[in-house]
Structure formats: structure tokens, C-alpha cells
A and B are shown apart, each in its own frame.
Chain A
């Protein structure tokens, strides 16, 4: 009867069965891929992964799959950047700023493994000294770009719910503190007070990407909070441009997307290749942001101080969409990346094209 399991699984694999090639068999990658395919089709795989986690914790392993596990939350241990990568990204941003001739700003956002160190196990080995890396980046762009250092603002509020417990990202509250550090640089003294927002909580508990990798049952699910600016009326039009076409929402928070199985997309519909947010505000300025998913946290606050914000994900940007962008027509340009994103190679070719 135990043999029935593999037979049933093979019948279910069908077209998903990876194609064996001599090269992939020789280097062993074919069997890794096959293992992965089988793992994804195992019945009760979430339960089995929970069992795996539990066995690891029983043997004293408080870090598994590069994720620190505790009842307080799951914290991803970010890899250190490869040699030269930081310098390459810094050089690309400097070059872009020089050519764009538009006031350019940079903020590099630390992750929870840097800010929430009090939640890590004692003597935990952290791969990336984020404070040091962010200082190196800030020094590198100095002179060409205005730096907004959000590290102190986040560190001062590390006991608050500023990072999700099950997702590798800032919460909306964390996003407000990032905004509070950005605003003096971008907006002067025009920062919006916290009391000008009311908070709505989504009822459905949220389990994020870290939980998908390490489904530790002891951690509480996250709550998605939606901050609505109430002091003055604002109308929002959010337009997404991507390979799937164009989508438009007339709200910053399309909450119906949570019911469609995309909870994080309740924040202005998620991050597409190009996302344009038009706001009926008294401000006539525009902002171009080159960012990543951390924008989900602070953009709803920042949007209320601009007429238009365009968020560009360079990793998804196609040449056709890049042609439509005109960076020089914006009043300000902001590079806002998580340190984890900055430690990868930001698509420099795309930046070069945009600067031309």
C-alpha cells in the first residue's frame, strides 16, 4: 500500500515532470528539480514541513532555511552582499543622478534582522552587518544624491510592531516611521501627523512569505493595517502597467484583492513594473520612486503630499515601459530599497536607458 503513494504521485505529476537532459543529470541539478517537483505535490506537505521544523527546533536549531524562528516572529537572516556589488549599484545611482539633473534622494531600509536583534537567539550569527553596509552606501552616494537615513527612526521604535512576524517586510506602522525619516528631506517641514490617519484592520489573519518557507505554528499571524488620511479629502487613482496590461483602481486600498488570495496587494494593488498614483491634493509636485516591496509600507503616507507618484520596479521593467517614462519631467527622484534588494544587482542597463 505504501507503494501506492509514489504511483499516485507519478500519475499526478503529468506534464510537470521535469525533462531529463544529459547536462542537468551530470551536474545533479535534474534530481534537485525532481525532488522539488515531488515535494510540491506531496499530500499534507505543510504538515510535514511543520514536522521538519519541529524536529529542527527539538535538536536546538533556532535558525532554519536562513530564517530565525521564535514565538515573536520569523526573521530572515540576510546574506551579505558579494564583493563589488555595493560599489556597482552606488556607481549606477550616481551616474543616473548626474545625467537626470533632477533632485535625487536615496534611502536604504534595514530589515528586521538588524533592527529586531533583541528577538534573535543569543549569539545568533548574522550574515550581514546592515548598519555598516548602509553607512558605506550613504558615503558612496554622498555629493551626488541626498541621503535619508531611516535606520535610527526604525531602531528607536524596535519594540513596536514595525516588521511583520511572518513576512520579510515593514508593516504599515513601520512604513510611517520610514516616511517620518524621509519627509524632512523630501518635503521640508510638511510631514503629515500620525493623528491625521485612521486605521482599519483587515479581519483575515495573514501568513506571509517567511511562513511559507518555515510554517512554524508557534508564531502568531500578522494583521494588515490600512491607514487612511482623514484630515483633508483625497481622491486616488492607481494605475498599474505591466506585462499583463493596464489595471486601474480608484482607491489606495483595493481590499477586494484580499478575498482573491492576494492580501498584500491591498496596498494600492501591489508593486507592478510601473505603478502611477494620481492624487487630488493641493500639491503640484511629482515623485519618481525606484523601489521594491518596501514601498507597500510607506507609499500610502507619502502619496498624500504629491500630485503624482510613480513607482518603478526595475526588476520587472520592460524596454517598452521604460520608453514611456520620462524621469526628467519629475520634480524629485527617490531610490528606496531594502538592504536585501540593494545587495543584489540593481538592473543597471535599465537605469542607463532611463537616464538617456
Chain B
């Protein structure tokens, strides 16, 4: 079963909400855990047992850490066990996916990194209470965020759990609104731009041009953004419907002022996670250039690995990390001096170029795409085919880019402020419209 499916919207979600709110408040976490495990078993029946085994191992490590609280070396060993086990699971899953030519198993990245986050939180004594199976299971397997996150810090999750979360009518409607907006993002621009990218990627030798490559890469950049941010919005919306406040994962990354800023806006919960797990231990080494370079490179590579272990994805992350390093250590003053508009343009160009690497299945293909974009491979600038395609697709591309900025969001916020009394009824109406749109897209 997929998140974006009629079965999910018309059977699973209503059943989930019904079971959750009919249960007594104190057992709701356990009910939600069972629902999440059921969802994961249905969504990934073959790959179900590996992440479950991983979480059980995390539970064992956390129990050991709690029992041997006064033995720091043993606690550190438990932490490293959890981290190493997760890395092995992620590398094995990534390598298997690469070999089979498929994408990464659903949920494995979120579940694995959540386990590590919990272990680090417990090790750093940031967890308020003992970590039991229901708490850890719900934190790792919460079905809403299995597809693409967001990652959620364990202390934040724990503090919300202590409040015994529940949603009022307002939260239910707003949560539903966000869920449906997310679904539309995945299925409309996410899907259609993905199809556009695929059709451009399949252009033969006489058809490809510099312009077609730029459009291909631009479509890919927008498609990835809409798909991943759409799933994250769906997760946030479902969380809100259940009374949980999940963190935001995207902050309009294509209006970033620098590549470093892009890292803060694109998969921002992953950056925050890496900062907690990778950066924080290196805080003592600030001013240590090799350590800083290594940390930035690691952030870039892990961001690429989020999408799988394909060479193109890793090169994408490495390319962005290189520019982040250059911005921090080579031309920080130049960047500060440039007006914001040009900084945004520079960042957009670098990010779009990086997606040329993302598109390649191997290093040679990635380099080839980058060479095509820069006009270094002898391609003609444009031909009738791409001009015709642009003539029919340019409004959609422009609209998608517009909605990837915060302009529309600011407008909606303004409306909510100016007409506060109409806010809830308008949300209800837009929910109905969005539900019709989502249903239409799923047919």
C-alpha cells in the first residue's frame, strides 16, 4: 500500500483516525504503534523484518545503556553498536537497491537514523525518561514519516508524548489541509515534472541540446523538491491530525542565498540531525580546517545518500559540499558583498548544475550531463524539438517554480491574518476541494 493511493485516503486513514481516537488516551501511543507497524508491513512486506530487527537491536543497546549507567566506556560501546549496526543496514540496503536497479527500501533511512538519534540522545542524557519498546517503536515506525521523513529529534518527540497529544477540530482540519496539499505536490508537479524529466533524459543523439539539458535538470530539481517536500507535508499533516507537531523539512530551498543556506533549507531536519550527531562532537574542533572540511563533505555525502547510493547522488552531495566549503573558506567576503538577488541567482545556478550530477547513474554520465549544461560537449544550443516542448510546457514550469517560493505562502498567511474568522471555514472548503483534486489525480 502506498501513501499516495485511494486505499490509503479512503480506507486506511479514516480507520487509523477512528481507532486512534476511540482508544483511551493513555494507550493511544501503543495503538498508533500497531497501526504504524501494520502500515509498514503492508507497504513493504518483503523488507519489513530488517528494520524491525534493527529497532529491536537499538532497544537492547538502549536497555544496556540504562542498566550500566555508571560505566561510560560501556555506554559508548552501546552507542557505537547502534551507529555501526545502522550504517551496515543502510549500506547493505543501498547496495542491494543499486544492484537490483530499484530505489531504497521504504522507511529504512528514517527508521535507521531515528534509532541513532534516540541512542545519541540517551547517551548525551537528553532523554527525559526510560526508552521502552512502545516509545522507541512509535518514534522509529510512525507511519506518517516513513516515506521521506522528516527526521525528528528524540527529545522533541518524547516531550510531545508526555503531553498525551490530541487534536482539536482546528488541528484536524489544518492537518488534513497540509496532508492534502502534500499529496497534490507529490502527484501533480512531483509526478508530471518527473515524467517531463524522464522524457527529456531519453532524447536521442540528434534530439538533445544544451537547452534541453537545462530544462531536464530544472525539471528534475523541481520534481525532487515537490516529491520529497510533498511527502514531508503529508507527514506533518498526518502528525497534526493525531496531535503531534512534526518539524518542517523544507524552507523554500530554491530561494537560498548561498549553498550553505541551501543545506539549511533543503532536508533541513537531516542537516539538524547531522549537526547533532556529526557536528556537535566536533564543536571543540572549531577553527580546525581539516575537521571543518571533513564535516561539510560528510554532510553533503549523507544528503546524497538520503536518495540512495547511486554515484550520481553522492556526486551531487559532494558538489554542493565543495561550494559550501568554497563559500566558507575561499570567497565569504565576496558573497557577503553581493546583493541578495544575485546571491540567490548564483545559488540557484549552482543547485541546478548539481542536479546534472544527480541525474547520472555513473560518474561518466553525470560528468557528461554537466558538460552538456556548460556547452562543453559540442551540442547545439537549441532545436525545434525542445522549442516546441517549451512552448507547451513553459507555463507549467513557471507556475511550479512560483509555488516553490514563499510568495503563495505569504499570501495565504496574509489572508489568515486579515480574515481570522474565515480562516477555519476557508480551510474546510479548501479541504473538500483538495480532496477532490487528490482523488482525481489518483484515478
Contact = CB atoms under 8 A, between A and B. Distances in A.
Interface of A: 2-3, 5-7, 9-10, 25-26, 28, 31, 34-35, 38-39, 42, 45, 48-49, 51-52, 55-56, 58-62, 121-123, 125
Contacts of B389: 60, 123
A191 to B, nearest CB: 43
A5 B188 CA distance: 23
Given A35-B5, A38-B7, A56 B192 contact: yes
Contacts of A10: 11
Contacts of B1: 28, 31
Nearest to A25: B45
B19 interface: no
A3 B442 contact: no
A25 B45 CA distance: 8
Interface string B3-42: 0011101110010011000000000000000000000001
A58 B10 contact: no
A52 B441 contact: yes
Nearest to A50: B440
Contacts of B431: 2
A241 to B, nearest CB: 38
B260 interface: no
Given A51-B436, A51-B437, A59-B192, A122 B388 contact: yes
Interface in B412-443: 431-432, 435-437, 439-443
A55 B45 contact: no
B2 interface: yes
- Mostly helix, strand, loop or mixed at chain A's interface? helix
Given A7-B14, A45-B443, A60 B436 contact: no
A305 B443 CA distance: 47
A252 to B, nearest CB: 39
Nearest to A17: B11
B342 interface: no
Contact of B11 (A6, A26, A122): A6
A31 B14 contact: no
Contact of A2 (B176, B384, B385, B396): B176
Nearest to B15: A6
A6 B10 contact: yes
Contact of B6 (A35, A58, A62): A35
B69 interface: no
Contact of A9 (B10, B393, B441): B10
A31 B2 CA distance: 8
A49 B440 contact: yes
A38 to B, nearest CB: 4
A59 B188 contact: yes
B45 A48 contact: no
A48 B438 CA distance: 10
Given A9-B10, A60-B196, A31 B5 contact: yes
Contacts, number: 83
A60 B389 CA distance: 8
B195 interface: yes
Contacts of B99: none
Contacts of B188: 55, 59
Contacts of B443: 39, 42, 45, 48-49, 52
A25 B442 CA distance: 20
B22 to A, nearest CB: 13
Contacts of B196: 60
Contacts of B17: 3
A61 B45 contact: no
Interface string B185-202: 000110010011001000
A58 B393 CA distance: 8
Contact of A31 (B42, B435, B440, B441): B42
Nearest to B191: A59
B396 A59 contact: yes
Contacts of A9: 10
Contact of B396 (A5, A60, A62, A123): A60
A45 B385 CA distance: 36
Contacts of B199: 125
Nearest to B173: A2
B201 to A, nearest CB: 13
29 contacts: A2-B176, A2-B431, A2-B432, A3-B17, A3-B18, A6-B10, A6-B14, A26-B45, A28-B1, A31-B1, A31-B2, A34-B11, A35-B5, A38-B10, A39-B442, A45-B443, A49-B440, A51-B436, A52-B443, A58-B396, A59-B189, A60-B196, A60-B393, A60-B396, A62-B392, A122-B384, A123-B385, A123-B389, A125-B199
A48 to B, nearest CB: 4
Contact of A34 (B7, B388, B442): B7
Nearest to A53: B440
Given A6-B10, A9-B10, A35-B7, A123 B388 contact: yes
A136 B188 CA distance: 41
Closest 5 pairs (CB-CB, A-B): A60-B393, A51-B440, A6-B10, A48-B440, A59-B192
B334 interface: no
Given A2-B176, A2-B432, A3-B17, A60 B10 contact: no
A26 B1 CA distance: 10
A61 B440 contact: no
A38 B388 contact: no
Most buried by A among B1, B396, B439, B443: B443
B337 interface: no
B333 interface: no
Contacts of A31: 1-2, 5, 7, 42
Contacts of A35: 5-7, 442
A62 to B, nearest CB: 7
B53 interface: no
A3 B431 CA distance: 12
A213 to B, nearest CB: 11
B46 interface: yes
Given A25-B45, A38-B11, A55-B441, 9 more contacts: A2-B176, A10-B11, A25-B42, A26-B46, A34-B11, A45-B443, A51-B440, A60-B192, A123-B389
